[in-house]
Amino acid sequence: MKKEFIETELFDTETNLEHYNSICNKILDYIMSFNSDNPLIQQNYNLKREHTNRVVGYSEVIARSLKLEKEDEMIVQLIALLHDIGRFEQMSQYETFNDSESRDHAELGVEIIKEKKWISHLPDYIQDYIISAISNHNKLDMLKNENEKVSLFSKIIRDADKIDILDLTIKEYSKPAKNRNEKLTLGLADKPHISKSVVKSVVNGKPADKKQLKTVNDFKLMQISWVYDVNYKKSFSIINKMQFLKQLFDSLPKTDDVFEAYRKAKIHIENQLI
């Protein structure tokens, strides 16, 4: 993970600039401190480092499309850098990325951020933005908050995170079953079965609940349903350009329910790009 990727020249705002590089360095040192003699665990540490790097990039692209102030761009990148900080300790303690079998990784991340005091020198309002967005990034529905900035930052990280997870998992699906990383699909059974509750959510235009998942195919359908929880035109544009929905659809059984779920999700994306 390259520090230069994070330390761009975007952040010339005098407010908090003196803290920015030191915060990034401390966080990156923490991320790089996780190593294991177990090749599978090490693979997952590396996976999360690379994911974090890419989410920083996607977040920056979305922020630029929204023409945010430079201080807000700085906050967006710090949120992206920290959004999955709990994943490293989660893998270290529980050897899984499945929150239901371990800890909610966002809540664990918030605990680590507060314990390490990486952002404690920033103004209280910026700390609140960062903590709130990280708490929000993995929830089925965003936590209620009337602050417009909290909503903005939460939506950006949710979009950027989804985009990279889609890319990452779709590439994984294309591998032979024996070579796939089961941690990415939460250890779900790789069977033809598709749960009716998951299909119903997608067909009704709602994000599927992770608690409903029983198989990898359910997971794929849930990922299709994520388009109903994407917030910005730039995000839809990236998803459409990279053909994520088609790739997911191509990897699913061709049942009437799957066709209908894909058709409605595809129309939803097209409508957002008009």
Whether residue 123 is predicted with pLDDT greater than 80 in this model: the reply is yes
The domain segmentation of the chain, as residue ranges, is 3-161, 188-272
Residues 29-77 have pLDDT tens digits of 999 999 999 999 999 999 999 999 999 999 999 999 999 998 899 999 9
R_g of the chain computed on alpha carbons: 19
pLDDT digits (tens, 9 = 90+) for 190-211: 999 999 999 999 999 999 999 9
* Rounded average pLDDT over 155-182: 94
Q: What is the pLDDT of residue 44?
A: 96
Most confident segment among 14-18, 31-35, 171-175: 31-35
How far, in Å, are 11, 12, 43, 86, 253 from residue 39 at the CA level?
A: 37, 41, 6, 20, 33
Q: What is the mean pLDDT of residues 145-150?
A: 87
Higher-scoring residue by pLDDT: 105, 146:
105
Measured CA to CA, the distance from residue 104 to residue 153 in angstroms comes to 20
Q: What is the pTM of this model?
A: 0.92
SS3 121: coil
Q: Average pLDDT in the 91-105 region?
A: 95
Strand partners, 215: 189
With tokens 């700085």, the residue in question is: 74
The answer to whether the CB of 210 falls within 8 A of the CB of 187 is no
Burial classification of residue 269, based on how many CB atoms lie within 10 Å of its CB (0-12 exposed, 13-18 middle, 19 or more buried):
middle
Residue 17 has what pLDDT?
64
Q: How far apart are the first and last CA of the chain?
A: 37
Classify 3-161 by CATH class.
mainly alpha
What rounded mean pLDDT belongs to the chain? Answer: 92
